[in-house]
Structure formats: C-alpha cells, structure tokens
Amino acid sequence: METNPLRGIFCMLGAMLFISVQEALAKYLGEFLPVAQVVWARYLGHLLLMVVWLWPKHGVTLLKSEKLSTQVGRSLILLIDTVLFFFGLTMLGLAEATAIFFTVPLLVLLISVPLLGERVKVASIVAIAVGFMGTLVIVRPGLNDLDSAQTGLGALCIFGSACCAAIYNVTTRKLSGNDPLQVTLFYTAMVGAITTSLFVPFVWQVPPSTLAWIALLCIGLFGGMAHSLIISAHKYAPATTVAPFMYSQIFWALGLGWLIFGDLPDLPAYLGGVIVIGSGLYLFCRDYSQLRTVNKQ
C-alpha cells in the first residue's frame, strides 16, 4: 500500500474516537446492566465485523495458527483487560480512566525486560517511575470517605486492565513472527466472543430501553472499527508517525464524559494525566531518536 502519513494520522485519530465512543457506551450500559453482558456484546459485535471483513478473503486459514495456545492465551488476557476496564468505568470518569490506562507504554517497557530480554536504561526507569507518580496524583489514595474508596477500586481495576494490555501487546509482538496479522485479529474476536457466550446466559438482563439495545449492538462494531483503523494507520504510515496521536483519546474522553455524563476531572486529575502522557511521550521520543541513530549508521 502507498505511504500516506496524513491518511495514517487521520486513521489513528478516527480509531481513538471510536474507542472513546465504545468506552462511553460501556460506561452508560454498566449503570444498569451486568458488566459481563456488556463485554459479551462488545466481543460478539467485533467477531461479526471480523467475519464480514476477513472470512470472504481468507476463509478457514484464519483458524490456522502455529502457536495456538499462545493465541488463545493472548486473547483471554485481552478479555480480562476488557472486563477490568469496563468494570472500572462504572466507578470512574472516562477521562480519569483513560489517563490511568495510558500507563500501558510504561508497563510494556517493564514487561519487555523479562519476556523479550530487552534492556532498560536509567532514564527510562525514571520515566516509568514518574508515570506511576502521575497515576497516584489522579487517584490520590489514602482518603477515607466512601466515594474515594470506590474511586480507588475503580482506579485499581483500570490499572489492572493496563497491566493486561501491556502483556497483550508484548505477546502480540512475539506472535508477529509466527502467525499472519489477520489470524491474530480473528482469534482476538473469536476467543472473546465464545468465552463470554458461555457465561452471559447466567447474568442476562433485558435492557430497559431502545437506546440500550442500540448501544449493545454498536459497542462491538465501534471496537472492531477502531482495530481496523489502527491497522490501516500502520499501513499508511510508520508507527513512529502515528503512535503519538493515540494520546488524542484523552480529548475525546474529556468531551464525551462532559457531554454524556456531565463529568469533568478536577485539577489534580488533569495534572496527573499530563504527567502520565508526558512520560509516555518521552519514552516514544527516546525510542524514535535511537531508531534514527541506528538508521543513519
């Protein structure tokens, strides 16, 4: 495919918008439906999109994996990530949850040491520590009132989700040399849809409104569209070009949180978000600078 950095950037911006809308729908549905039912809708819609998009071209080859156990395990980790994030959204605002989740690049760097054998420099360790301090500024642990305890639990769920996402990303990197991208994409949706379908009959509740039914139908489609746009973004432009635009999600989250739920973070939450995002961008710029140096050599 022809390189087109501007189109790649727009694809990434669109993907972050769709992810934010998906999370807003999850937060809305989580107010009156079991989280398991919301997660089921997210994965079923994603699987339907993958079947429509990938199956006509690739057929049964989508099921052929050289590392089947790793594919299934990786997909289950992403499922746990989704459950924790959606549950955390029932207790936190969209912007706060998004800011905490932006610790993923820092966690990926930490996990890459034991799993991929990569070395971490002192400056990167400092950036990771600063990023974690940013999450503490957002959550402000140690307060004793009920609302703060609930916020702490929600933040813990989001941070657990970020840990799962980091493991998922590192595992995906390891799989890239064994299975084609379309196989990995299909297993991601299929394993989640099958697993949640086993549990959803035990918690099923009939949505109380037409809007809730529409949200259930759309939540998986938006997630699948976001994944498709991320893939397209990396086809049109290098990761070093499009990756920083993933942080645009915080602005979508702020806007949707205010428009739909009337939520606006307080000043410490903004400050913590800036610290977390700044740490992630520092690591990105450092990697990009090292990559340019290697290419010149």
Domain ranges for the chain:
5-296
Per-residue confidence (pLDDT) for residue 251, from 0 to 100: 85
CA–CA dist 185, 259 (Å, integer) = 32
Query: Percentage of the chain with pLDDT > 90?
Result: 31
pLDDT digits (tens, 9 = 90+) for 172-208: 777 767 788 788 889 989 999 999 999 999 999 988 8
Q: Which among 235, 146, 135, 131 has a CA at the least distance from the CA of 182?
A: 235
- pLDDT band at residue 161 using 50, 70 and 90 as cut-offs: very high
Query: How confident is the model at residue 279, as a pLDDT?
Result: 82
Q: How confident is the model at residue 114 (pLDDT cuts 50, 70, 90)?
A: low
For the ranges 30-44, 54-68, 145-159, 262-276, which has the lowest average pLDDT? 145-159
DSSP3 helix / strand / coil % (the chain, rounded to 5): 85, 0, 15
Q: 3-class DSSP state for residue 216?
A: helix
Amino acid, single-letter form, for residue 183: V
Q: What is the Cα–Cα distance from 134 to 148, expressed in whole angstroms? A: 17
User: Rounded to 10 degrees, what is the CA torsion of 230, 162, 198, 25?
Assistant: -60
Residue 215's Cα: distance from chain center in Å?
19
Q: What is the pTM of this model?
A: 0.84
Does 118 or 234 have the greater pLDDT score? 234
Burial (Cβ within 10 Å: 0-12, 13-18, ≥19) of residue 177: exposed
pLDDT tens digits along 4-37: 788 888 888 898 899 999 999 999 999 999 999 9
First to last CA, the chain: 27
Give the residue among 244, 246, 251 at the shortest CA–CA distance from 95.
Answer: 251
CB 296: neighbour CB atoms within 10 A? 6
Helix axes 267-296, 122-139, angle to 10 degrees: 160
Q: Encode pLDDT of 224-281 as tens digits.
A: 888 778 877 877 877 667 777 888 888 888 888 888 888 877 788 788 888 888 887 7
User: What is the token pair recorded at 103?
Assistant: 């610790």
The whole-angstrom separation of Cα 267 and Cα 257 is 16
